[in-house]
Structure 1
Amino acid sequence: MWTPDIRDLEGPRYLAIAGAIAQAIDAGELSPGAQLPPQRDLADHLGVTVGTVTRAYALAREKNLISGEVGRGTFVRAGRSVGQRLEFRPPVPERTVDLSCYRAPSAGLAELVSSALVALSQRVAFLPLQKYPPAAGLPAHRVVASAWIARSGYSPRPEDVLICAGAQQAIQVALATVAGPGDVLLTDALTYPGLKALAGLQGLRLAGVEMDQEGMRPEALRAAVAATGSRAVSLQTTLHNPTIATMSPVRRQAIADLARELNLTIIEDDASSAILVERPPPLASLAAERVIYITGLAKALSPVFRAGFIVCPPALNEAMSNTLHAMTLGCSPFIGEMASALMTSPALDDVMGRMRTEIARRVDFATDILGAERVRTHPASVHLWLTLPPEWRALEFEALARRNGVAVVASDNFATNDTRAPSAVRVSLSPGAGENLLHRGLTTLKSLMLARPMLAATII
């Protein structure tokens, strides 16, 4: 029978137990109908009082995660999911190890968020509750965001920073400002599916630019500009999603020089680098007048925090503020205040350090199982790029992995229309619930890679 491991979970023990139940349900470790331990047995196992377990189970019942039946026990409710949400990807079947989507390691987050919420409650009186906020965000929030971005070595003026509800919204604002329906947007040949979705919503045509181990190639970008006439470019410079590519300083300078020479406007999605201790200086630090810089808190802390930041080139500041105002009438000041409380918390660096330690441990664990020769990763990346044997097509492998209870993402999901997808899949190392699930998922992928694809039916 399942029992939680709450050693690394902080806060009151009843909340730790309830949180462990929620995480296990969300990750598929506890499936609908699974029975939880009797309260006295679990109390003895965890070294807590029966009343603590009773309180935890009551909270889980209140959230409709479990139900109790007199004389039979406590069971996970059918059809309940902690993470019910709209996805770019289809829902993952029950009992599947979900290695397809990002989940943040959670050690230390509960205490950090609790403290930030207390700080927020004390600052409510200073927020403009009687009117819409400024489109770009409150000045105090823009100052804190500017200081957060300065950790990368790039120190923008607070007046050039816009507060958004997540980096995804920031990308949408940037696209809507620099391109219109029917325009061509140049982007990495393999790119973030969220960008593909937004381009589709806004009627943009994506043109993939050839990449190498460092990301977008300058000579390929020059050729793409000549072929399409487009002057709008979206790219990732650090811990590229999905390939984990990171541009060298020489490559960054070459792209910056090209932006000036060809009069390009570049949207730099730098959200993945926020977890790094030493971040490479972003492209925006080399060509601030040509680059729209985007980052956020999701990859540094948790996707729950929908706080994203845009640094506008001064010439686009008014246009982007107007676009954001048209879309949202301004980001809620509660988001800005919560983000500010998190970014200025004395506990922030400790929590991020614990996250980096856990991510690095999972990277080593996965590399040992899958083999370093087929894995491209980084100690601070929760994703890895797994190159498949040449006989495999990525979509076929993705489908077979799902049939065997593991969800990964085929390279085809990242490819632009004019790009041939390589034989590779993206694997997330943060399934959300314990090492056993991760081990099961990775060993399954390893065994499938060693198998040969099934022959298709002969067509006569």
Structure 2
Amino acid sequence: MLPQLHGRKGPKYKALAEAYADMIDNGEIKAGTKLPSQRILSYQLGVTVGTVTRAYQELSLLGKTLSVVGSGTYVKETLSADSYYHPLDSQQGIDLSLCRPLIVSQQQHLHNALQQMLGQPQAQSAILDYFSADGLCGHSDTLRQWLNQRWHSKLTPERVQWTYGGQHGLSVILQALTRSGDTVLTEGLCYGEFIHSCAQLERRIQPVAIDDQGLVAEDLLLQCQRHRPRLLYLTPNVQNPTAVQLSAQRRLQIIDICRRFDVLIIEDGVMYCPPEQRQLPLASIAPDITVYVGSFSKYFAGGVRVGYLVLPANLRVPLLKALRSTCMHVSPILIDLICRWLCSGAMEEVDNHIAMELRARYRILTQHLERPADHVIQGFNYWLTLPPQHQAEQVTKQLYELGVRVRSGQQFCVGGYGQVNAIRLSLTGPKTRDELRAGLEIVRSCVR
């Protein structure tokens, strides 16, 4: 069956490629079919061999065909968009274990940024090139200006550095500022991937007690006296997993203790915190002893693996060395998208949309389980303490069998911190409110 070129505009090779592509997409030409040789097709259509050659090259670029040397050009087996973009590791049921940002208007902002980029050849040329870890001036200035406005500060260029998300930032810090066998203090209940990173790098991790006001200063003092740690890792704005916030008094106490014992504070600010509950970071109060780890994964989209460090100027050299050893530099293409969203107001718009959706989801939580305590930050996660008759591990297993995934509190325990009878529910795991309602209804049936 010959492709029909009549009525198609543009160069003949483009028209021929488009005609063949349409026939393949419509199923008129099946996968595995061998296309006519270039000479024969040129004779049949009355075009030059060069036209057919370019058309076949275009089809190959479109992913429609495969050229086999000495044999010819064959139609490739193609996947539908649903199949092509389907996760390799997908699970059925309701996911209350995955802490991810809600997708609200991000797709439109992605479309707008890419369309804008298409009309800027200078930008395209710049973001496709190699750079040092310092990157591009405009990108650095954009991030710094955004942070200065957000923190009411005056950060200098040498204090800000891009990373591939928060987890990459934490790994860079551990590599740059600690050695095998060094002690790192953390909250007794801690972000699991940080625990794994310390184990992988052979850093000793020591828990510090927490309560409904965050890290307990008295226990921090005791652990500093006992272990002489190099770092203190904590999540003051939204504790992961309990969602409590470090009180103002404790912040000052912790800074004072860390100064006395020459302990560097690693402040993880990755977790989403609603605008009305945000506090100024420790890095703005004690900039000389604090490294702040930020990310846009929770505030915009999980697939945008871009984060940043705000660091004391005297630590820039070792941190840059560690950064270069892991990735040389962060992709300027991803950073450029982030900067466009920061400048256009898209980041702020998505922030507000996420906050609005979270309020709705917490109303659903209240209807199905319980009203959150006043000290709990209403972010992505909710820490559900279980009554003694329901053990967390058993509840987690039971829920899994009923098609609902949650995280047991034991997954967040550091060392010998103790038995924790609680589960973490990620209210943003379900993609719809109806799915969240269904999941919480099953949780309620298992814990009441």
TM-score range, shorter chain: 0.7 to 0.9
Residues 333, 234 of structure 1: alpha-carbon distance in 2 compared, 3 angstrom cutoff: same
Partner secondary structure for residue 207 of structure 1: strand
2:337 matched to 1:333?
A: no
Partner of 1:383: 381
Partner of 2:133: 135
Counterpart CA distance in 2 for 1:347 and 1:327 is 30
When structure 1 is superposed on structure 2, of 440-449 and 97-106 the one drifting more is 97-106
Matches within 5 A, 1:152-163: 152-163=151-162
Partner of 1:303: 302
Matches within 5 A, 1:192-341: 192-273=191-272, 275-277=274-276, 279-341=278-340
Q: Please identify the structure whose Cα radius of gyration is greater.
A: 2
5+ long unaligned stretches in structure 1: 1-59, 66-79, 86-90, 451-460
Matches within 5 A, 1:364-443: 364-372=363-371, 377-379=376-378, 381-443=379-441
2:95 matched to 1:98?
A: yes
Identity percentage over the alignment? Answer: 24
Residues 180, 434 of structure 1: alpha-carbon distance in 2 compared, 3 angstrom cutoff: same
The number of residue pairs the alignment matches comes to 369
Deviation (angstroms), 1:393: 2.3
List per-residue Cα deviations over 1:396-453 (Å, max 9, x = no partner): 2111111111100001111111211311110011234322221111011111002xxx
Partner of 2:80: 62
Counterpart CA distance in 1 for 2:391 and 2:374 is 17
Counterpart CA distance in 2 for 1:367 and 1:433 is 19
Partner of 1:121: 118
Counterpart CA distance in 2 for 1:203 and 1:157 is 34
Counterpart CA distance in 2 for 1:124 and 1:173 is 33
Counterpart residue type for residue 355 of structure 1: I
TM-score, normalization by structure 2: 0.77
Counterpart residue type for residue 420 of structure 1: G
Deviation (angstroms), 1:131: 5.1
List per-residue Cα deviations over 1:203-237 (Å, max 9, x = no partner): 11211111111211121111111111212111111
Residues 202, 191 of structure 1: alpha-carbon distance in 2 compared, 3 angstrom cutoff: same
Q: Does the 8 A contact of 1:187 with 1:207 survive in 2?
A: yes
Partner of 2:86: 82
Counterpart residue type for residue 139 of structure 2: H
Q: Does the 8 A contact of 2:233 with 2:268 survive in 1?
A: yes
When structure 1 is superposed on structure 2, of 274-283 and 202-211 the one drifting more is 274-283
Deviation (angstroms), 1:303: 0.8
Counterpart CA distance in 1 for 2:348 and 2:171 is 30
Counterpart CA distance in 1 for 2:121 and 2:270 is 28
List per-residue Cα deviations over 1:281-305 (Å, max 9, x = no partner): 1011111010001111111111111
Deviation (angstroms), 1:158: 2.5
Partner of 2:442: 444
When structure 1 is superposed on structure 2, of 365-374 and 264-273 the one drifting more is 365-374
Q: Does the 8 A contact of 1:209 with 1:216 survive in 2?
A: yes
Deviation (angstroms), 1:137: 2.9
Counterpart CA distance in 1 for 2:359 and 2:197 is 31
5+ long unaligned stretches in structure 2: 1-77
Counterpart residue type for residue 382 of structure 2: L
Counterpart CA distance in 2 for 1:295 and 1:277 is 18
Counterpart residue type for residue 362 of structure 1: R
When structure 1 is superposed on structure 2, of 412-421 and 116-125 the one drifting more is 116-125
Residues 103, 373 of structure 1: alpha-carbon distance in 2 compared, 3 angstrom cutoff: closer
Deviation (angstroms), 1:273: 4.5
